[in-house]
Chain A
Amino acid sequence: MKKHIIINVGRQLGSGGRIIGNRIAQDFNIKFYDKELLDLAAQESGFDKRFFERNDEHKGFLKVLFSPFAPIFGSSNPYANQLSDESLFKFQSDAIRKAAEKDSCVFVGRCADYILRDFPNKVDIFITADMADRVKRVSETLDISEKEAEKKCIEGDENRAKYYNYYSAKTWGRAESYDLCINSSVLGIDSTIELVEDFISQKLHL
């Protein structure tokens, strides 16, 4: 019987994390979830997908400051309103947990490594890359100038870090939060994938 495994891929924006995660899923022949998670979350909650898109890997300070759900008179259950950021995260994390229990999968981002922390056969990976490579990749995929791409990378990292640090009990991008952290610029995407797959096989005795 095939072993039930979970691979979580954290990544800097533009580091090639999505490509790497996707290839790993293909090579191990397991499911792949990136943006697709938002569909799962929408299904889980019965809410429209746009609520999850608006909230996707964001938790900015201003948003916290003007949190519409912070009650003025002290009562404070963020789950009381199911459209609160916290509720939406709960729906999404329930969806992630369900998907993980059903099949072997690769999850990209969305605190999946934290949400599935008690899962037995799992590997948490974090992908970084040199800024030049990231800018190049982002500007090509989105067809924007390099300057804009660099801004996007920096903002994207900030958002992901805030989101991750708020909802998980770990720190985004810090080595101790993951099993393996790797800079995809050093070996290039293909060799990085090979190395990561080898690491996964060894850790999970595949």
Chain B
Amino acid sequence: MSNPSSPLDLGILPVNKLLGQYAVPAIIAMTASSLYNMVDSIFIGHGVGAMAISGLALTFPFMNLSAAFGAMVGVGASTLISVKLGQKDYKSAQHIFGNVITLTLLLGLLFSAVSLIFLDPILYFFGASAETLPYAREYMEVILLGNVITHGYLTLNSVLRSIGYPRLSMNATILAVIINTILNPLFIYGLDWGIRGSAIATVLAQTISLLWQMKVFNNPKELVHFKRGIYKLKGSIVRDTLGIGMSPFLMNSCACLIVILINRGLGHYGGDLAIGAYGIVNRVVFLFIMIVIGLNQGMQPIAGYNYGAQKYDRVLKVLKVTMLWGTLVTTLGFLVGELMPEWCARAFTTDKELIDISAKGMRIIVMFYPLIGMQMVTTNFFQSIGQAGKSIFLSLTRQLLFLVPLLLVLPQFMGVKGVWLAMPMADAISCIVTGTMLVIQYRKFKQLAVKTS
């Protein structure tokens, strides 16, 4: 499963078939992790109340930040381990694995400690009010106490993938989703633990998943496994791990920053319920975004290989096919958001006002979704063919460069509507920029395709 096709197949087999092979597992994984978050919100919304949904939405940036630290170690680690395994250098891979475990523990504990000490001020900074703070605090206290477990689970999942077990890593994710889905209603309704129950369910689900992963790494027959003498930190390994992990760290931190700005804006101009509404809308639309991210992951190897092998007609083909599917998915998101937003919101809450605000917000946010598929696929396409600069620039246009000024300016004139509107506006502008760069690149490829054929 790590290699559904040999490299050569990437240049020969039909593009459609290849995309299916590579994208479907990625889409499943992405959908699973987005369901994970959705489940929490649904049970909290129905079992605890509308204010709890707002409290939960306040913790999103926290989760982003924690994921940022987790990804920094996880991505760095698995890249380094892959490189060493590629050279059959099992001893060095083993050392990296040990170092990564130590790093995960240290960073995880440090993050918990700092966050717990300053929990209230941080949450106020994130946009909490006196009403929403207790919910956010109750939830975060448990999550932060279990933070080391979350990081351990994410890191081991990364490593599992890098040592050639993408399926095990996917199973670990799905296992956590299932346990979380079972425990959530049990703790919230059965034991009446409130929002805290949901957090406990999350941590417990990850604990069980982590134990299962540890069983895999406890087997001395595995290429990398738990072993004495590999845990002492080595300067060069730490430096390389954090160096590679810096890029995903910055991207995740950027996401964190944006959510803080949105929540603060919504809280300031619209009140607590507006934050909760964003929490609901975010959960729904993110499902579609995650599916496109899965598609993109499937496109990467195909576009990359054929670009390297100078088969430009196939590069264009995979770009077109992925873009078509991506657009279909985001258009579906657009239709759902425009036609049945109340129905979506009702899945999370019974509060009339909250449903109303969520529905209005969703209609605004998905305004330009039919174009977003193209934007996301193009951004990732530049990444696939090694043009990192363009890819990062485009990704920042949508998520930072245009969004931040819009978020700061629009509400001054339009109030809370301006906060909602900033998101589709940034989408639209970034689509124009992306489209322009795509056309230029497309023409280049067309010429090259004619030349090489």
List residues of chain A with CB under 8 Å of any chain B CB: 45-48, 51, 61, 64-84, 86, 89-90, 93, 114-115, 117, 165-167, 169, 171
Contact = CB atoms under 8 A, between A and B. Distances in A.
Contacts of B305: 81-83
Given A80-B300, A86-B86, A73 B293 contact: yes
Contact of A46 (B86, B89, B293, B308): B308
Nearest to B67: A74
Interface footprint category on B = 35 or more
Given A74-B158, A76-B75, A169 B308 contact: no
Contacts of A64: 243-244, 246-247
Given A64-B246, A81-B300, A74 B310 contact: no
Contacts, number: 137
A90 B86 contact: yes
Interface stretch (B120-128, B275-283, B328-336, B381-389): B381-389
Given A67-B388, A75-B297, A81-B300, A61 B243 contact: yes
A72 B154 CA distance: 13
B83 A71 contact: no
25 contacts: A45-B309, A47-B308, A65-B243, A67-B244, A67-B247, A67-B388, A68-B392, A71-B75, A73-B33, A74-B67, A75-B297, A76-B79, A76-B158, A77-B2, A77-B161, A77-B166, A78-B79, A82-B10, A82-B305, A86-B79, A89-B83, A89-B86, A93-B86, A166-B83, A169-B84
B78 A76 contact: yes
Contacts of A76: 74-75, 78-79, 158, 161-162
A166 B308 CA distance: 23
Interface in B226-264: 236, 240, 243-248, 251-252
B60 to A, nearest CB: 15
B307 interface: yes
B266 to A, nearest CB: 24
Nearest to B254: A72
Contact of B308 (A75, A78, A79, A83): A83
A74 B248 contact: yes
Contacts of A45: 7, 308-309
